[in-house]
Amino acid sequence: MTVTFSSFTVSLWTFFFFFFFFFFFLLLLSPAASGGVQTLEPEVIGSPAPIFCSPGADVVLPCHLDPELDVRDLTVEWSRTDRSTWPQYVHIYRNRREVSTISRTRLFVEQLGHGNISLKVLNVSAEDGGAYRCFIPKLRSRTRNSTVRLVGHSFTVSLWTLLLLLLLLLSPAASGGVQTLEPEVIGSPAPIFCSPGADVVLPCHLDPELDVRDLTVAWLRTDRSARPQYVHIYKNRREVSTISRTRLFVEQLGRGNISLKVLNVSAEDGGTYRCFIPNLRSRTHNSTVQLVVDSNWFRKPTDVPWEEPGVTARSRVPVGVVSLLVVFAVVGLFVAFCVFKSRPENKGDGHAHNRPLRLTLQLIDERHQCGQFRDRPAGGAVL
């Protein structure tokens, strides 16, 4: 009896244990226990941000189900919700067939099995802008629709207009800084000296450089009479010299060099010259150069008294290049300093140069101790 009762008791407890374990396991796996019923339902998700498109282009209004769900046997509807009180249908997918009310829309049918219900609109017009709703009527979910907003050309133009106005307000034109971008005719601030019979160059150029081969360039005398007297004219890519002893550096007109070379200078050539570009879009389209002809001037005549025509000291080395070189030099010095400080011989307690002295003192101390041990007697007393 005892054995039978014990065996029956063991079997009963085993049954209750397995039943409780199985019930608890099912309870843990159930969605209701974890509060995740909503997470297992497919949701129709559109685009939270508006979709921008220009007229004549194609656009995709994104919409999908999360998690993925095969909707090939369901009904998918796309409609406009901003035209009237009742939704206006744009595209309907039903019984595995598509119907487009505007004949310019289509679904990605091959991706419906993966839950992609995005709508493609062809040849977008300005009237296509607005709010669209993707809707699955028979979807077993609390979220069966979503809205996507398409922004057409009219709003895009307004946005670009606002950006353009903002750029114009922040541009140098609004702050009075246009003059720095205009080409300026620059002559020589100092007079040009020359001896009779030599050749001389009256320097004049545009800063910043500008191609003037298709413009008119005139050199005049402004000290002879009340009216200017033309000396040299460049027009329609041809040169005309009124004194037959002047010429321009035609090959350098493309770089803004309008310097004038005067051959076989005479005493009558001394005076004030003005280089002038009538059609130049600038507030400074002329400049003055003073030529001094002196028989006592013994300097060796050159084509360029101080510098090459058309090349100024400011344009030889751009400021940006110099600034970049300075930055690289500073960074290089900083890196070299960091590398030097990180070397092993420069680390420690800062007394590396005293190590030989400490070693010498240590050796002397050891020798002194050895001498004391040698002087001791056998009994251990110090003599």
The predicted pLDDT at position 19 comes to 65
**Residue 126 pLDDT:** 85
pLDDT of res. 115: 92
For 143-152, 262-271, 277-286, 299-308, which range has the lowest pLDDT when averaged over its residues?
Answer: 299-308
Query: 184-313 has which CATH code?
Result: 2.60.40.10
Mean per-residue pLDDT, 151-157: 58
pLDDT, one tens digit per residue, over 278-290 is 888 888 888 999 9
Closest CA to 191 of 93, 99, 86, 297: 297
Secondary structure of the chain as H, E, C letters:
CHHHHHHHHHHHHHHHHHHHHHHHHHHHHCHHHHCCHHHHCCEEECCCCCEECCCCCCEEECCEEECCCCCCCCCEEEEECCCCCCCEEEEEEECCEEEECCCCEEECHHHHHHCECCEEECCCCHHHCEEEEEECCCCCCCCCEEEEEEECHHHHHHHHHHHHHHHHHHCCCCCCCHHHCCCEEECCCCCEEECCCCCEEECCEEECCCCCCCCCEEEEECCCCCCCEEEEEEECCEEEECCCCEEECHHHHHHCECCEEECCCCHHHCEEEEEECCCCCCCCCEEEEEEEECCCCCCCCCCCCCCCCCCCHHHHCCHHHHHHHHHHHHHHHHHHHHHHHCCHHHCCCCCHHHHHHHHHHHHHHHHHHHHHHHHCCCCCCCC
Instruction: Give yes or no for residue 178 having a pLDDT over 80.
Output: no
Q: What is the pLDDT of residue 284?
A: 83
The tens digit of pLDDT for each residue in 306-324 reads 444 444 444 444 555 556 6
pLDDT at 382 (0 to 100): 40
Pick the CATH number of 43-154 from 2.60.40.1930, 2.60.40.10, 3.20.20.70, 2.30.30.100: 2.60.40.10
pLDDT surpasses 70 at 182? yes
- pLDDT of residue 112 exceeding 90, the answer is yes
Statement: residue 348 has pLDDT above 70: no
Give the residue extent of every domain in the chain.
Answer: 43-154, 184-313
Instruction: Give me the pLDDT at residue 1, please.
Output: 42
Q: Identify which has the larger pLDDT, 162 or 63.
A: 63
| Same CATH fold assignment for domains 43-154 and 184-313 | yes
Q: What is the pLDDT of residue 374?
A: 46
- Specify the higher pLDDT residue, 227 or 53: 53
Q: Pick 243 or 373 by higher pLDDT.
A: 243
| More reliable by pLDDT, 120 or 302 | 120
Which pLDDT score, from 0 to 100, does residue 332 have?
67
**Residues 52-86 as b or e (16 or more Cβ within 10 Å = b):** ebeeeeebebbbbbeeebebeebebbbbbbeeeee
Q: Hey, what are 144's tokens?
A: 């069966």
53-57, 81-85, 122-126: least confidently modelled range: 81-85
**Contact (Cβ atoms closer than 8 angstroms) between residue 232 and residue 246:** yes
Separation CA 17–CA 20 (nearest Å): 5
Q: What is the β-pairing status of strands 184-186 and 43-45?
A: unpaired
Rank 137-151, 287-301, 366-380 by mean pLDDT and report only the highest.
Answer: 137-151
Of 12-26, 46-60, 101-115, 365-379, the poorest mean pLDDT is in: 365-379
Percent of the chain, pLDDT > 90?
Answer: 30
The number of beta carbons lying within 10 Å of the beta carbon of residue 90 is 22
What value does the mean pLDDT of the chain take? 75
